[in-house]
Structure 1
Amino acid sequence: MGITRIHTGERMSKIVKHNGVAYLCGQVGSGDSVAEQTRDCLARVDALLAEAGSDNTRILQAIVWLADMADFAEMNAVWDAWVPAGHAPARACGEAKLARDTLKVEIIVTAACD
């Protein structure tokens, strides 16, 4: 089975599919608060998953980076409302300096796909 790259640029692809798995590049969102950025980020994840032939019930793993772990509860409130009951993926969350000072959250997702 081959590798399919979608929305490929010079630096990265937004989606890479291989052997029934979709790998999404890190997604960030817009807004002033962690909650706003998380909601927007997850909407972008939803759109990419749909394009890959998947959805948030098929996520295998998620990695969440926060600019400040003090925002963990605020991010989790949005995350918990988004993940369908019984479909929580393997997940890690850590603190990292993100690409721009205005970013508060970045999420990387791997999911089963068609």
Structure 2
Amino acid sequence: VKPSTAKQILLMLEGVVSKGGTAPKAAIPGYRVGGKTGTAQYVDPRCGCYNGEVVASFIGMAPADNPQLVVAVNLVNPRNGRFGGQIAAPVFKRVMTYALQARSIPPTGKTAPRLLLTAG
């Protein structure tokens, strides 16, 4: 991957955690955070159909401007939501906040660049 491509992808992953992204609940004050949400349905092998069971996930890194830690959260059949950004992102935030403090990784002191989020 070219360095310029990697930089663009990192910026897009930060957009996921920004206001207007799919996982603002993963944001950690003082740190740039990037990540990706996921929601997947299980297929019931008996019928080959979806039975309503889901996995909600979020995988993220911090600090996004100098990634040092990665945390992945997968919740199988969560009770209080269905979507990764809604239910897995807050778990990521708690675990990553603890890990950053435990590893004495200082806040970045920088804000993420503003990204133009568009659909279509």
Q: Normalising by structure 1, what TM-score?
A: 0.29
Normalised by the length of structure 2, the TM-score is 0.28
Q: Which has a greater percent of strand?
A: 1
Mark the structure with the bigger radius of gyration: 2
